[in-house]
A and B are shown apart, each in its own frame.
Chain A
Amino acid sequence: MSEIERPPLLSVRNLQVAYGRGKKRNQALKGISFEVFPGECVGFIGHNGAGKSTTLKVIMGFRYPEAGSVQVFGEEAGSSASRERIGYLPEVSLYYPFLKARELLELYGGLSGLSKEQLKTRIPVLLEKVGLAGRGEHLLKSFSKGMQQRLGIAQSLIAEPELLIYDELSSGLDPLGRHDLRQLLLELKEQGCTLFFSSHELNEVESLCDRVIMIHQGRLLRDLPLEAMKAECGDRSLEAFYIDTLREENAKA
């Protein structure tokens, strides 16, 4: 089935968001539109302050749009029905330092409606998947940044979501952690999970994504399948192409 026939899981239409008022007003998003279809893996790239996190926050219902609309699974963004089917990893993964890793996953799983029995079987498996086997009874205050990020990935997967939304995918992870995460995401992708993530790591985007969306200063610059993007890159790497594109845009401005 082509994308035209399939209904999108995520549909962003003319999204506009501004921070502040009056002279301090900053238009973070200036009317971006895109869609994500079931089973796709879409990378969302842009420099710091381009509007990536803001877009993800609106999709999750944390921030309200000034104009435009966002629909997730055909529901308004932020609705309980849409959040039931999403696994979200925030930009900075920090969790309650006074909780144990198991308790944290019990909390998020419980809030997603999982029973105690389901949690009992799912938590050890997830902890092992993210490389935290045997750490379930450790307090989170003893966890390093990378371990917290791994735990963040585990919490995003606890309710077996259909759509994963990750803000800064591998932030805080060491090379081994990144490799493990890539393997895990490839596995999830093979199982039919839809992935939408922002990242500064273009190698990661290249190795995981089917499609790349590039934004700059709140505007959509490119929304292309990876192969089309690579064709546009020519003999340049994705990273070199990205930098050249941003320079061209800055020169225009």
Chain B
Amino acid sequence: MSSVTQMFHVARVVWLEALRRKELYVIVAICSGLILWLGQIRFFQIEGMSKFYREMALNIMSGATALTVLVLGARQLPREFSARTIYPLLARPLSRSSYLMGKLLGVSAAGCFCLLLFLGLYLLGCLSLGAPLYGHLLLQHLWLQLCMVLLMTSLSLLLSLLFNLDAAISVGLLLLTLSSVISNLFLLIYEESNVLTRRVLEVLTWLLPQLPLFSLAEKNVHGELWDPLSASVMFQLSLYAFLFSALYLGITLWLFRRRPL
């Protein structure tokens, strides 16, 4: 039995859970409704309405996808432990690493599905508003968002092993919502800090995922002013996401292997 096939079996359960549990429909329905509603706004024919739509819709799309991934990812392991469904699963010839990779695959795929669904709605809104689309920038934004999905999935799995379910979701939400604020705060403090504080800030900057790096929403809104990112920047951002995901996943696997059931 190949471990890839086993991973797909585990991932399938995550997909079925995402499909059959109602709370995820609520996130998707609310955000889809918001995107569609924004696409219908014609406030007194104000010029630049399409920019407002694009900015709001892209941010909702990004936030809702990250939220979906966080909620789905953070509950995978704690629910398996508390409901004891992990015992019959690991009683099979399934390694803990394949199990974890299956969870990663399932949650990431569910996140990608949400992202593509929101993208479809966003494009519909753009068409209805006659808003310009900047193909290259949009594709780059989409790729970086997919990288963020991977990063958020591995982070949520790690948080779920470090904390209980509620705390994992709360910490994940804080990181998600305050990520840009924290980065800006670090920059402000950095200038005024002594050498030791600077080192601490540098370490923290490297430890905490810099989620705003994975959004090109602003550039897509003002696409007429921006060129697409260079291949080398895209490569570095992708590498950043993959390395951080691998690091989080490695720590998760190490903790999971040591954990008695």
A93: chain B residues within 8 A (beta carbon):
88
Please tell me if B48 contacts chain A, counting CB pairs below 8 Å: no
Bound Cα distance A155, B93 (Å): 14
Distance from A118 Cβ to chain B, minimum over Cβ atoms (Å): 12
B88 and A86 contacting across the interface, CB-CB below 8 Å:
no
Please tell me if A211 contacts chain B, counting CB pairs below 8 Å: no
Q: Contacting B260 at CB < 8 Å: which of A64, A99, A108?
A: A64
B95: chain A residues within 8 A (beta carbon):
80
Bound Cα distance A50, B87 (Å): 20
B12: chain A residues within 8 A (beta carbon):
107
Distance from A25 Cβ to chain B, minimum over Cβ atoms (Å): 14
Bound Cα distance A209, B6 (Å): 35
Please tell me if B199 contacts chain A, counting CB pairs below 8 Å: no
Please tell me if A34 contacts chain B, counting CB pairs below 8 Å: no
Most-contacted residue by chain A among B5, B9, B20, B93 (CB, 10 A):
B93
Bound Cα distance A156, B88 (Å): 8
Please tell me if A60 contacts chain B, counting CB pairs below 8 Å: yes
Please tell me if B40 contacts chain A, counting CB pairs below 8 Å: no
Q: Contacting B13 at CB < 8 Å: which of A81, A107, A156?
A: A107
Number of A residues whose C-beta is below 8 Å from B? 32
Query: Which of A109-117, A170-178, A223-231, A243-251 forms contacts with chain B?
Result: A109-117
A98 and B20 contacting across the interface, CB-CB below 8 Å:
yes
Please tell me if A94 contacts chain B, counting CB pairs below 8 Å: yes
Q: Contacting A110 at CB < 8 Å: which of B5, B20, B21, B91?
A: B5
B16 and A110 contacting across the interface, CB-CB below 8 Å:
no
Q: Contacting A81 at CB < 8 Å: which of B9, B89, B93?
A: B93
Given contacts A99-B13, A107-B12, contact A94 B84 (CB under 8 A): yes
Identify the closest chain A residue to B80 (Cβ): A96
B93 and A94 contacting across the interface, CB-CB below 8 Å:
no
Of the four ranges (under 10, 10 to 19, 20 to 34, 35 or more), the interface on chain B belongs to 20 to 34
Q: Contacting B87 at CB < 8 Å: which of A81, A84, A88, A99?
A: A88
B87: chain A residues within 8 A (beta carbon):
60, 62, 88, 90
Identify the closest chain A residue to B261 (Cβ): A62
Bound Cα distance A80, B158 (Å): 25
List which A41-75 residues lie within 8 A (CB) of chain B: 57, 60-64
Bound Cα distance A103, B15 (Å): 13
Q: Mark B13-54, 1 if CB is under 8 A from A, else 0.
A: 100110011000000000000000000000000000000000
A60: chain B residues within 8 A (beta carbon):
87, 90-91
Most-contacted residue by chain B among A86, A108, A159 (CB, 10 A):
A108
Q: Contacting B88 at CB < 8 Å: which of A61, A80, A110, A155?
A: A155
Identify the closest chain A residue to B5 (Cβ): A110
Residues of A within 8 A of B (CB): 57, 60-64, 80-81, 83-84, 86, 88-90, 92-96, 98-99, 103, 107-108, 110-113, 152, 155-156, 159
Q: List 20 A-B contacts (CB under 8 A).
A: A57-B260, A60-B90, A61-B90, A62-B90, A81-B93, A83-B94, A84-B93, A86-B91, A92-B84, A94-B84, A94-B85, A95-B88, A96-B83, A98-B17, A103-B16, A107-B9, A110-B6, A111-B1, A155-B88, A159-B92
Additional pairs, 10, CB under 8 Å, beyond known A110-B5, A112-B93:
A62-B87, A84-B93, A89-B88, A90-B84, A92-B84, A94-B83, A95-B85, A95-B88, A98-B21, A113-B1
